[in-house]
């Protein structure tokens, strides 16, 4: 065998060394032209931030408005990032000296973004910081900064059943308005049944739009009123029975749910009765967790206030806050901007290092990676301090 | 002005992490800057529903075993980084489904008509025996190829140690002879039957160049670290490796800033003197190690006139390496229920690596590597489930006709194609059991890695730009004496081990320069 190697000619070593440098010398000394399309797409679909202006305000109900947002070219946003129906935007605002963020599902259909229009629909939350601020201050012409479209609450043809029963409660209708538009436009291809729970006829958001959608024939819309008994409406709550009534008999179906936390808790029990495989039940994110002390696994003897020493890049600050607030909320309340998107524990965007101290994380919001536990990393948006903390947080983006 | 560092490392990919930990450990004031909010670049993980997916690592070459740790395990021990390795001792299974008109077909154990079905064990001797079984008359040439690989591997090792270079020619007499020859040339000379060569060459795709281009010397390194030393994976996905090193950098007194993109390199007297972070904050240092791909570094962080002419010429001469598309699947069935028996199956439309390479000029190419993480990591997903990932490779701007509004459909189309390829080649059913799915196409990798075409592989290891000239000319290829590159764009090309290695090497040179007062 060894002799066979000798048949390989010794003729390549020297040319290999000189050839390479010669090849370099022969080239033009200038930057290559355009970046490739994969690179261009990545930037177009995931801009760092989008600078927008309010172009129109639509009153939806007493406590709810829609805002049509268009690119603010002066600030550098020329076009809007396209998105899959169901995604959300994070809104950045400064309210009473705090730099805060909240997630809002895009309620316009994907096609509208190509014409430079997004719509957000925001419902007032009693005592809520962002919703009240937006409803009271956003008017036509106002500048608004939002994130790229985010989230995973989308139809996925390789995963989901062809029939999708969408369950909405209150402002949870927003992603489904977008999905229905995408189905009608042919941008999504599934059989959509939308079951929308509201208190009474007046509380129904997008009533006229939903009538139009229903008429089109591609999407079936069912209204459920909890407090009213009216002709042409289902009465009561969304239950397993009601879902079965509108679900196909002999074909698989997926359930998508978006609504307030109380609705998730109620529906989880109802949906369990249907015996669907896990893959066919999908929730939009939980939202910010409130009142951790109400949880059975919350420890006792937790102090009311704690101090948090936080390092962001080369700046270290010590602040104090309530153990009833998340680490993220405490930072924000002290005027420190921190990275956040979903504020529900899921997206990992707030990923930070916990160097000292202990936190409580509600089970429903536990989406950390395995190695995060080994190396002491937390998601501040769903971590409640139990002791004084020392943390290292990435700079807000 | 903020405090001044000895070294700023740009980018916390595997290369940047290796560089930063080495500098910090040596006591240099080190700042590691990363655009993303996590360390690792490709070496990370992500959660969907009840699954945590491994984004990129198929096998980590050179983990070795506890008694005889491989190069990467040794390196992590040097760093003091705590990673719990799962070691495993198989290599791959290659399946080539039969096409119309193929002769020599047979029915595989899965009941599929194929031309190749080769499940290869680890270790040179077992591998060669198996090859003999599949292609009679190949044993001797296979062992000769491994023997040559062992000697070439030792030559490569010496090449990195200046004092040992003179001994190469004496100790490894065939070094000069083999260098510059491709795998095909060497295997032909050794008389290996063509069919055996095809199986032998299966790893070509890990480095992105086929048998007619791939330098045998470099393949020696690949064979050595995959077939001989034994591979492994970290127990908690590759995020564990990245966080382990992140921790050591901090322990050694280094600083790490996440969400901190270098948007400009500040030049003074024709040399880098500092960086601008996120377009606003200036930080200064005497030395820099750059883990960002040179194409992006030169076009985005420098003014064209600041870029050394040679670097611009290098950009134009070199071909950007291949790009990947990966489909991550969280399955609501166990691997047994699905019928998986292997960790890693390479499914190819043709057995010849050059034909595979040609097919991969398109994205829809019938070439797919399917991995079942549960096969080697029993805790890879919750009870009753399993985690798969499917990978294909392509070259060039395969997304050139894709508009933003086509993006989602494009992703689903390529994913479906890849799933179909696997279902057919292995006679299994995947689609009904998908509970979670994520699809990463070249644009996805662009987003996370910030490389041209989204390549994780740096530059193509073309014949003229292979490991030997890259290694010998490493210093003369660096742009400034205080600014060195590391990562997949450097001499050893892609792979976790190679990237870490390049980071450690750049750091070692930087430490030396600083100690010598340069
Ligand atoms: C992915 C996603 C999409 C969303 N899309 C929309 C949308 O399209 N439209 C929309 O209107 N909203 C949407 N939300 C909710 C939205 O992000 C905000 O949570 C909402 O506007 C309230 O913010 P706020 O700042 O006004 O209230 P916060 O300041 O966050 O709330 C503070 C006060 O509200 C009270 N409170 C709020 N919720 C509860 C609760 N569940 N239980 C008890 N007390 C509570 C508390 O007493 C607290 O003092 C979405 C959320 C997510 C995660
Ligand atoms: S902001 Fe999404 S996990 Fe914290």
* CA–CA gap between residue B358 and residue A24 (Å, rounded): 26
pLDDT at residue B2, rounded to an integer: 52
**pLDDT-based confidence at residue B1 (cuts at 50, 70, 90):** very low
Q: Do B177 and A6 touch (CB under 8 A)?
A: yes
Which one of A248, A283, A318 terminates a domain?
A283
Three-state secondary structure call for residue A377: strand
- How close A242 gets to chain B, by Cα (Å)? 25
Whether residue A128 has its Cβ less than 6 Å from ligand 1: yes
Which one of B229, B260, B291 terminates a domain?
B229
Three-state secondary structure call for residue B474: helix
> A179 and A166 in contact (C-beta within 8 Å)?
yes
* DSSP label at residue B366: S
Residues A269 and A250 in one domain: yes
Mean pLDDT value across residues A354-363: 97
Residues A277 and A355 in one domain: no
* CA–CA gap between residue B126 and residue A342 (Å, rounded): 51
Residues B215 and B282 in one domain: no
> A339 and B205 in contact (C-beta within 8 Å)?
no
Domain that holds residue B153: 124-229
The enclosing domain of A317 has a CATH number of 3.10.20.30
Please give the sequence-ordered ranges of beta strands (E in DSSP) within chain A, or none if there are none: 50-61, 64-71, 88-95, 98-105, 118-123, 143-146, 163-169, 191-198, 219-225, 234-235, 253-258, 281-283, 305-312, 315-322, 352-356, 359-360, 377-378, 384-385, 389-392
* CA–CA gap between residue A190 and residue A172 (Å, rounded): 20
**pLDDT-based confidence at residue B222 (cuts at 50, 70, 90):** confident
Ligand 2 centroid from CA B376, angstroms: 31
Residues B212 and B132 in one domain: yes
Tokens of B441: 């196409």
Residues A346 and A234 in one domain: no
Given a cut of 80, is residue A256 above it in pLDDT?
yes
Residues A214 and A279 in one domain: yes
pLDDT at residue B217, rounded to an integer: 87
User: What is the dihedral angle through the alpha carbons of A224, A228, A233, A234, rounded to the nearest 10 degrees?
Assistant: 50
Whether residue A238 has its Cβ less than 6 Å from ligand 2: no
Q: Which residues of B86-114 are buried (b: 16+ CB within 10 A; e: fewer)?
A: bbbebbbbbbbbbeeeeeebeebeeebeb
> A145 and A49 in contact (C-beta within 8 Å)?
yes
- How close A231 gets to chain B, by Cα (Å)? 39
Instruction: Among A98, A121, A131, A294, say which to mutate for ligand 1: greatest number of ligand atoms within 8 Å of CB.
Output: A131
Residues A250 and A310 in one domain: no
Q: List the beta bridge partners of residue B182.
A: B215
- Residue B434 belongs to a domain: no
Whether residue A347 has its Cβ less than 6 Å from ligand 2: yes
Helix axes B237-251, B71-79, angle to 10 degrees: 40
Given a cut of 90, is residue B393 above it in pLDDT?
yes
- Residue A223 belongs to a domain: yes
> B333 and B433 in contact (C-beta within 8 Å)?
yes
Residues A122 and A62 in one domain: yes
Q: Which residues are within 8 A (CB) of A41 and not within 5 positions of it... i.e. 6 or more apart?
A: B399, B402, B404, B407, B443, B446
- Tell which residue, B308, B261, B278, B294, has the closest CA to residue B451: B294
pLDDT at residue A49, rounded to an integer: 97
Whether residue A104 has its Cβ less than 6 Å from ligand 1: yes
Mean pLDDT value across residues A308-316: 97
- Residue B504 belongs to a domain: yes
Ligand nearest to the CA of A102: 1
Residues B166 and B200 in one domain: yes
Q: List the beta bridge partners of residue B9.
A: B32, B289
User: How many Å is the Cα radius of gyration of chain A?
Assistant: 26
Q: List the beta bridge partners of residue A283.
A: A257
pLDDT at residue B454, rounded to an integer: 93
- Residue A59 belongs to a domain: yes
Mean pLDDT value across residues B455-480: 93
**Count of domains in chain A?**
3
* CA–CA gap between residue A323 and residue A327 (Å, rounded): 8
Mean pLDDT value across residues B311-338: 96
Lowest mean pLDDT among A47-51, A119-123, B227-231, B389-393: B227-231
- Residue B300 belongs to a domain: yes
Give the tens place of pLDDT for each residue, B398-441.
Answer: 999 999 999 999 999 999 999 999 999 999 999 999 999 999 99
Ligand 2 centroid from CA A344, angstroms: 6
Q: Which residues of B172-182 are buried (b: 16+ CB within 10 A; e: fewer)?
A: bebbbbbbbbb
pLDDT at residue A7, rounded to an integer: 82
- Residue A354 belongs to a domain: yes
Mean pLDDT value across residues A60-79: 96
pLDDT at residue B156, rounded to an integer: 84
Which one of B229, B260, B276 terminates a domain?
B229
- Residue A152 belongs to a domain: no
**Residue B273 contacts A where some CB pair is shorter than 8 Å:** no
- Residue A37 belongs to a domain: no
Domain that holds residue A81: 47-146
pLDDT over 90 percentage in chain A: 90
- Is A301 exposed, middle or buried (CB count within 10 Å of its CB: 0-12, 13-18, 19+)? exposed
Maximal CA-CA distance, chain B: 72
**pLDDT-based confidence at residue A1 (cuts at 50, 70, 90):** low
CA angle (A53, A41, B412) in 5-degree steps: 110
Indicate left, alpha or beta for A170 from its phi (over 0: left) and psi (-120 to 50: alpha): left
> B265 and B479 in contact (C-beta within 8 Å)?
no
Q: pTM for this one?
A: 0.96
Which one of A283, A305, A336 terminates a domain?
A283
* Residue from B31, B34, B37 to probe the interface with A (highest A Cβ count within 10 Å): B37
Which one of A146, A175, A209 terminates a domain?
A146
> A284 and A175 in contact (C-beta within 8 Å)?
yes
* CA–CA gap between residue A266 and residue B392 (Å, rounded): 43
Q: Do B435 and A351 touch (CB under 8 A)?
A: no
Q: What is the ipTM of this complex?
A: 0.96
Residues A214 and A167 in one domain: yes
Helix (H) or strand (E) holding B421: helix B407-426
Whether residue A347 has its Cβ less than 6 Å from ligand 1: no
- How close B275 gets to chain A, by Cα (Å)? 14
Residues B502 and B472 in one domain: yes
Lowest mean pLDDT among A31-40, A77-86, B101-110, B135-144: A31-40
**Count of domains in chain B?**
2
* CA–CA gap between residue A263 and residue A257 (Å, rounded): 9
Mean pLDDT rounded to a whole number for chain A:
95
Q: Count of alpha carbons within 13 Å of B330, Cβ hemisphere only?
A: 21
Give the tens place of pLDDT for each residue, A19-50.
Answer: 999 999 999 999 987 788 999 999 999 999 99
pLDDT at residue B179, rounded to an integer: 87
The enclosing domain of B501 has a CATH number of 3.50.50.60
Given a cut of 90, is residue A302 above it in pLDDT?
yes
Given a cut of 80, is residue A10 above it in pLDDT?
no
pLDDT at residue B165, rounded to an integer: 82
Give phi and psi for B281, each to the nearest 5. -100, 130
Residues A278 and A299 in one domain: no
- Is B388 exposed, middle or buried (CB count within 10 Å of its CB: 0-12, 13-18, 19+)? buried
Whether residue A102 has its Cβ less than 6 Å from ligand 2: no
Helix (H) or strand (E) holding B448: helix B442-449
- Residue A384 belongs to a domain: yes
How far apart, in Å, are the Cα atoms of A255 and each of A192, A248, A274? 10, 12, 11
Mean pLDDT value across residues A146-160: 98
The enclosing domain of A128 has a CATH number of 2.40.30.10
* CA–CA gap between residue A26 and residue A54 (Å, rounded): 54
The enclosing domain of A173 has a CATH number of 3.40.50.80
CB neighbours (10 Å) of residue A73? 12
**B434 → chain A, closest CA residue:** A159
What is the interface size between A and B, counted as CB pairs within 8 Å?
245
Residues B192 and B151 in one domain: yes
Give the tens place of pLDDT for each residue, A265-286.
Answer: 999 999 999 999 999 999 998 7
Ligand 2 centroid from CA A347, angstroms: 5
Given a cut of 70, is residue A343 above it in pLDDT?
yes
Q: List the beta bridge partners of residue B33.
A: B10, B257
Helix and strand numbers (H, E) in chain B are: 20, 19
**Residue B190 contacts A where some CB pair is shorter than 8 Å:** yes
Residues A190 and A257 in one domain: yes
**A47 → chain B, closest CA residue:** B447
Q: Which residues of B touch A37 (CB under 8 A)?
A: 397, 399-402, 443
Residues B250 and B204 in one domain: no
Q: What is the residue whose two structure tokens read 């990032």?
A: A81
Q: List the beta bridge partners of residue A143.
A: A53
- Residue B295 belongs to a domain: yes
**pLDDT-based confidence at residue B503 (cuts at 50, 70, 90):** very high
**A349 → chain B, closest CA residue:** B37
Q: Which residues of A79-107 are buried (b: 16+ CB within 10 A; e: fewer)?
A: ebbbbbbbbbbbbbbeeeebbbbbbbbbb
Given a cut of 70, is residue A90 above it in pLDDT?
yes
Residues A272 and A301 in one domain: no
Pairing state of beta strands B344-347 and B113-121?
unpaired
């Amino acid at each position: 065998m060894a002799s066979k190697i000798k048949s390989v000619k010794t003729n390549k070593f020297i040319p290999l060394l000189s050839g390479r440098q010669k090849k370099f010398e022969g080239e033009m000394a200038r930057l290559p032209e355009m970046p490739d399309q994969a690179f261009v797409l990545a930037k177009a679909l995931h801009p760092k931030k989008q600078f927008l202006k309010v172009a129109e305000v639509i009153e939806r109900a007493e406590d709810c408005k829609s805002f049509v947002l268009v690119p603010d070219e002066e600030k550098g946003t020329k076009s809007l990032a396209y998105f899959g129906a169901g995604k959300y935007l994070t809104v950045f605002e400064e309210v009473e000296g705090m730099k805060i963020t909240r997630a809002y599902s895009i309620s316009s259909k994907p096609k509208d973004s190509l014409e430079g229009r997004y719509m957000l629909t925001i419902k007032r939350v009693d005592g809520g910081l962002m919703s009240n601020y937006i409803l009271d201050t956003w008017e036509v012409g106002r500048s608004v900064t939002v994130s790229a479209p985010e989230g995973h609450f989308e139809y996925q043809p390789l995963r989901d059943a062809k029939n999708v029963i969408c369950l909405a409660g209150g402002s949870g209708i927003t992603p489904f308005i977008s999905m229905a538009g995408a189905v009608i436009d042919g941008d999504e291809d599934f059989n959509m049944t939308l079951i929308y729970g509201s208190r009474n006829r007046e509380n129904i958001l997008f009533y006229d739009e939903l009538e139009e959608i229903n008429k089109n024939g591609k999407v079936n819309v069912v209204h459920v009123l909890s407090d009213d008994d009216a002709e042409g409406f289902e009465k009561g709550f969304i239950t397993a029975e009601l879902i079965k009534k509108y679900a196909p008999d002999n074909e698989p179906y997926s359930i998508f749910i978006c609504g307030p936390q109380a609705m998730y808790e109620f529906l989880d029990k109802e949906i369990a009765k249907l015996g669907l495989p896990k893959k066919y039940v999908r929730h939009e994110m939980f939202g910010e967790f409130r009142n951790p002390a109400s949880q059975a696994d919350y420890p006792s003897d937790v102090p009311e206030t704690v101090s948090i020493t936080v390092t962001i890049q080369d700046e270290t600050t010590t602040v104090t806050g309530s153990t009833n607030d998340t680490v993220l909320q405490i930072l924000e309340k002290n005027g420190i901007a921190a990275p956040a998107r979903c504020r529900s524990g899921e997206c990992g965007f707030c990923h930070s290092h916990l160097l000292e101290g202990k936190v409580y994380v509600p089970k429903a919001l536990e989406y950390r990676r395995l190695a995060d536990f080994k190396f002491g990393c937390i998601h501040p948006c769903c971590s409640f301090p139990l002791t004084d903390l020392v943390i290292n947080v990435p700079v807000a983006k | 002005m903020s405090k001044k560092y000895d070294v700023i490392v740009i980018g916390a990919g595997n290369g940047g992490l290796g560089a930063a930990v080495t500098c910090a450990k040596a006591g240099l004031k080190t700042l590691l800057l990363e655009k993303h909010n996590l360390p690792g670049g490709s070496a990370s993980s992500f959660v969907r529903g009840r699954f945590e997916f491994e984004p990129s690592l198929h096998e980590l070459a050179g983990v070795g075993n506890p008694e005889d740790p491989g190069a990467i395990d040794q390196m992590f021990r040097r760093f003091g980084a705590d990673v719990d390795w799962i070691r495993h001792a198989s290599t791959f299974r290659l399946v080539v489904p039969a096409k119309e008109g193929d002769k020599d077909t047979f029915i595989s154990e899965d009941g599929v008509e194929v031309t190749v079905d080769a499940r290869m064990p680890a270790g040179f001797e077992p591998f060669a025996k198996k090859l003999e079984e599949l292609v009679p008359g190949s044993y001797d040439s296979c062992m000769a190829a491994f023997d040559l690989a062992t000697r070439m591997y030792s030559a490569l090792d010496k090449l990195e140690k200046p004092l040992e270079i003179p001994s190469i020619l004496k100790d490894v007499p065939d070094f000069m002879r083999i260098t510059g020859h491709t795998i095909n040339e060497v295997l032909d000379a050794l008389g290996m039957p063509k069919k055996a060569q095809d199986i032998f060459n299966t790893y070509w795709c890990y480095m992105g160049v086929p048998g007619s281009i791939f330098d045998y010397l470099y393949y020696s390194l690949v064979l050595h670290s995959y077939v001989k030393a034994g591979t492994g994976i970290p127990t908690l996905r590759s995020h564990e490796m990245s966080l382990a090193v992140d921790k050591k950098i901090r322990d050694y007194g280094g600083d790490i800033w996440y969400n901190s993109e270098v948007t400009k390199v500040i030049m003074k007297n024709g040399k880098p003197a500092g960086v601008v972070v996120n377009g606003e904050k200036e930080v200064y240092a005497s030395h820099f190690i750059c883990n960002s791909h040179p194409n992006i570094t030169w076009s985005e962080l420098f003014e064209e006139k600041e870029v050394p002419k040679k670097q611009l010429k290098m950009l134009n001469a070199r071909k950007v390496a291949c790009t990947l598309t990966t489909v991550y699947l969280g399955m609501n069935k166990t691997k047994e229920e699905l019928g998986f028996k292997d960790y890693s199956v390479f499914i190819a439309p043709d057995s010849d690596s050059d034909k595979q390479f040609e097919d991969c000029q398109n994205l829809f190419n019938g070439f797919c590597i399917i991995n079942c993480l549960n096969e080697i990591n029993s805790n890879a997903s919750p009870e009753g489930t399993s985690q798969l990932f499917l990978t294909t490779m392509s070259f060039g701007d395969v997304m050139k006709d894709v508009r933003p509004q086509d993006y989602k459909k494009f992703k689903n189309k390529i994913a479906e194609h890849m799933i179909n390829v696997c279902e057919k080649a292995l006679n299994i059913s995947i689609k009904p059991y998908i509970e979670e799915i994520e699809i990463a196409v070249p644009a996805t990798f662009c987003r996370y890695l910030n490389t041209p075409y989204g390549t994780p592989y740096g530059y193509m290891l073309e014949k003229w730009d292979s490991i030997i000239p890259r290694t010998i000319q490493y210093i003369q290829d660096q742009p400034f004496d205080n600014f060195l590159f590391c990562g997949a764009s450097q001499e050893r090309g892609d792979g976790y081990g190679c990237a870490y290695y390049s980071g450690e090497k750049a750091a070692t040179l930087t430490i030396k320069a600083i100690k010598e007062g340069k």
